[in-house]
Amino acid sequence: MMEEISFEEIKRLQQGEKQVFNKIIAIYQKRVTALCMKYMLNMDEAVDAAQEVFCSAYVSIKSFGFKSKFSTWLYRITVNQCINRLKSIKSRNAIIDNRHYIDDEEKREQLEFVTDGRKLSDEEMELKETGTAILRELDRFSEMDKSAIILSDMEDYSTGEIAEILDMPEGSVRSSISRTRRKLKEILEKKKGAER
């Protein structure tokens, strides 16, 4: 069970008790940074995005209405922050040389940390290969489709929670997930066929 900040403490923060925000940072900094990492696929970018997330959360803490869990509210800010960043990176790179924002080689290097220097078994190696390939391909999908897959398959959120975080109907989340998976399958199979 993940630690959650209580509503009581959030009320105190809303009333001006700034120390409470340090507790929020301590509880959620790792989770938020990890989620940013799954979007940005770059540690420095992820940390930077996570700091921006907390900054936004502090500024808009008074708008938290106690209707959802605080973590859900914070993850919504995180997802929006990451999506906006990815958009701005994509448009920046499009202006520079019209290439996809990070080429495959660069991304492969960035994902090397996944092995963390540990020797992987054959099965783990295969999982890693497939997982990193999916992550690379996910960049070609819309931000909402990518977010639905990340939150569902990497973060283990339920469809209801994803709908709340992404602020969209549950049915849309379900269809987005199944559509993205199907497309991913096609792409990966095509790639496999081409390799053979």
List residues binding other proteins (CB under 8 A).
18-19, 21-22, 25-26, 29-30, 33-34, 37-38, 43, 47, 50-52, 54-55, 58-59, 111, 113-116, 124, 127-128, 130-132, 134-135, 149-150, 153-156, 181-182, 184-185
Question: If DSSP codes are grouped into helix, strand and coil, which group holds residue 93?
Answer: helix
Shortest reach from residue 25's CB to other proteins, in Å: 5
Q: How far apart are CA 177 and CA 172, in angstroms?
A: 9
CB of 64 or CB of 93, closer to other proteins:
64
CB of 33 or CB of 147, closer to other proteins:
33
Which sign, positive or negative, has the C-alpha torsion 94, 109, 104, 157?
negative
Q: How far apart are CA 91 and CA 85, in angstroms?
A: 10
Q: How far apart are CA 153 and CA 160, in angstroms?
A: 14
Shortest reach from residue 90's CB to other proteins, in Å: 21
Q: Smallest Cα–Cα separation from 111: which of 92, 98, 130, 97?
A: 130
CB of 163 or CB of 184, closer to other proteins:
184
CB of 6 or CB of 178, closer to other proteins:
178
Shortest reach from residue 94's CB to other proteins, in Å: 27
Shortest reach from residue 111's CB to other proteins, in Å: 8
Give the max Cα distance, the chain.
63
Contact 163, 169 (CB under 8 A): yes
Shortest reach from residue 9's CB to other proteins, in Å: 14
CB of 34 or CB of 93, closer to other proteins:
34
Q: How far apart are CA 68 and CA 164, in angstroms?
A: 8
